Each structure stands twice: as C-alpha cells, then as structure tokens.
Amino acid sequence: MNSLTFASALRENQQEVLQRWHEAFHGHVAEDFEQMLGTPMGLAVAASFLGLAVELMGSEEYQRPQILHRARQAAQDDAYRRAAVGFCLPDLVINASSFRAALEKTIFNHVSPSSTGQMEELRNAVMALGSFGDCLVAGEIAGYFAYRQLNEEDN
C-alpha cells in the first residue's frame, strides 16, 4: 500500500465520494443550498475539491503544504461566491466537513491494510484527509467573512 493506492481509490471511486458527500449533508443544510450543490456549478466545485484530494493523496510530504494551501483557497473562493448569493456560514461549513467525511469513508471502503505497517499508512492517509478537511472548513469560513466584510464596507 502506498500513497498512489489512496489516490487511486479516490480517483476510481469519484461517484461514490459524491454520493457519500450528498448523503452526509442531506438534511443538515438548507434545502436551497442542497439543491444548488447538485447543479453543474456545485458539482464543479466538488470535482475541484476531489481533484485536490487525489493530488494530496498521491503527493510527497514536502508537496502537501502547497496542495493544502490551494485547497483552502479553492474553498475560500467558493464560499465567497456562495455568500454573495445569500448562503449562510453553517451550510458552508457542513458542506466542507461532509466532503471530508465522504473522502474518508471511500478510502476505508476501498483500501484494506493487511499488515501493521500498512495500518500506519492508512492512519497517515486519514490524517492527511483530516488536514485537507480542516483547510476546506477554514477556507469556507474565510471566504464567507471576506464577503461579509466587503459588503459591510460598501454600505
């Protein structure tokens, strides 16, 4: 088992990730926000996040900070746009945390460690996905407040 195994598990099971993501936020976000996430624009953002997660899972340790920074920025840009059309902060945060949970569940569903050493690799992969999810949440919060701050300054 190596980092490419984790990247492959996510890349080859993209539909499962998206399905798990929808299941995780269903009933926990506003109905109009949930509907928007199913549109081509919402799915494009999910595809972007998924692409970054795959890249993270296939990366070397020294590459991860840059990828995490890009993930945070992508989430921030997304949240800014969504805040501009009236979506609230809890929905944005639930979206990001639901996406992380979907990634983790998909990894657990498709990667089975067969030795103690592989268990350590799986633990490290899940920790990396946790950091990825933290960056998404931080980006969503930052984007929301950036929009709010700009909107308040204009008034």
Tokens of 79: 């949240």
pLDDT digits (tens, 9 = 90+) for 80-131: 999 998 899 999 999 999 999 999 999 999 988 776 678 888 899 999 999 9
**Cα–Cα distance measured from residue 109 to residue 103, given in angstroms and rounded to the nearest whole number:** 10
Tokens of 20: 């798990």
pLDDT digits (tens, 9 = 90+) for 17-38: 999 998 988 888 888 888 888 8
Which residue type, as a one-letter code, is found at position 104? Answer: E
Q: Which domain holds residue 107?
A: 3-154
Tokens of 87: 């979506």
Q: Please tell me the total count of domains within the chain.
A: 1
Tokens of 4: 């490419």
Query: Which pLDDT belongs to residue 115?
Result: 65
Which residue type, as a one-letter code, is found at position 79? Answer: A
Reported pTM: 0.90
